Each structure stands twice: as structure tokens, then as C-alpha cells.
Structure 1
């Protein structure tokens, strides 16, 4: 399973179902259930289904506050040259976060054992 590294407070918002777009500077072809790793914690906090990836223009980004949780005032400038929304569904929070071994150099994705 792939694990996606996400900083706080965004990971909590995803796992609570409040945030359904993860904004990134690149496309992803990965689909299906992925693990969510809290950046710097050494733990997997839950899972989510990665169901789509959409390239955003300024209008879509600025009007997507309900999906990405970033206020309209903070959306005046695109965060990346190529801004994408990774669309997430079905968040599942683990009762107890699961430790994992963080490989050297992993920044976005981690390959996890089952």
C-alpha cells in the first residue's frame, strides 16, 4: 500500500471528512485506498480512497474552499505552477496510529508493508 505524507492540520481535516481535495503541484495516476501519514510523526493515522486528480485553474482553485479548506482570501495566488487537486473519499481514522519505518528520501509517498 502507498502512504501519502501530509502535514498537520490538513491530515486531521481529511480524516474528519472536512477536506476532500489535497492540493499538490503535480498529477498522480495512483488510485484506490492509500494510507495517510502525519508528517514527522512516524505513524500512519488512517486511510482514504484516492479517486481522481484534477488540474485546477485559478477560478476553480479560488472557488474550491469547501473542498480544500483554504480560505478564498488565501487563494488569490496559485500555490504551484501546475496546481492539482487529488480527490479523496471515504476517510477512515485508526483508533491507534500505526508506526512505520520512514525510508531515507521519502517526501510525498512511502511504500508500506501490508
Structure 2
């Protein structure tokens, strides 16, 4: 299964179903199953942002030390990769016309020209599975939860 390494708290927000789009400066033509790997780095400042902190606390994550790192924590389906087209008063507009509102736009960088990876059917793993992450998309041999 393909995998992507994502810094914390973003990986956990995806695993919890709080974050639908992973934003990147690059696109991919890949579509299908994708493992979400929580990298070893934690953006501690981001964890203190009000929308992010609220989402974590709402899901029982009361401290940064509760965020798993160096592990695959969820699987999902990468449905699409959509370019961010423009900003507007209440958020961003993707090139397919979809509008991104708060709190979703607080969970990514939707600057026009970047890409929103549309993640669907997220399944949080019962326990994190230790794995060494990599840059870009990589192959994880941990299996599929969609069989």
C-alpha cells in the first residue's frame, strides 16, 4: 500500500476524521489506498492554535505527548488531488469549484497554486504500527484495511 508521512498534529487530525484535505506543494496522479504515517516531528506551535487544539481536545488528546510519532496510524482512500485556485472572504476555492471553510482551512495551507489531497473513508488503526517514514509517496508493507 502507498503511504505518506505527515508531521503531527496533522496526521492525527486526519486519523480522527477532523481533517479531510492534506495540502501539499506538489500533486500526484496516484489514486487509491493510502496509509497515513505520523512522522517523528511535532509542530508544537500548531498544537497551540485554537482550532487545532480544540479538535485534539474534543478527541481526548490533552497533551502533545499523546500524539503518536514514527508510526502508521490510519488508512484512507486518496480520491483526488485538486489545485487550490483562489481565496475568498470565508476561505478558499479549489479548481473544481469546491469551497473550503473553517475549520478545514485552518488545518492546511490552501494558498492558491498548492494542492488539496482529498482523503475519504479514513480508518484509524486500533494501535499505531511503528514504521520508518520517507519523503514523497512510499510503499508500506503493513497491509490493507479495505480487503
- Compute the TM-score of the two structures, normalised by the length of structure 2: 0.62
Aligned partners of 1:3 and 1:111 also within 8 Å: yes
- Match runs of 1:22-41 below 5 Å: 22-40=22-40, 41=69
**Which residue is 1:65 aligned to?**
101
Partners of 2:104 and 2:4 lie apart in 1 by: 16
Partners of 2:125 and 2:106 lie apart in 1 by: 25
Moved runs in structure 1, 4+ residues, more than 4 A?
A: none
Rg larger in structure: 2
Gaps (5+ residues) in structure 2? 41-68, 93-99
**Which residue is 1:107 aligned to?**
135
Aligned partners of 1:47 and 1:92 also within 8 Å: yes
Query: How far has the Cα of 1:16 moved from its partner?
Result: 1.3
| Number of positions where the alignment pairs a residue of Structure 1 with one of Structure 2 | 106
Query: How far has the Cα of 1:109 moved from its partner?
Result: 2.2
Partners of 1:28 and 1:68 lie apart in 2 by: 21
**Which residue is 1:21 aligned to?**
21
Q: 2:125 aligns with which of 94, 97, 103?
A: 94
Partners of 1:5 and 1:11 lie apart in 2 by: 8
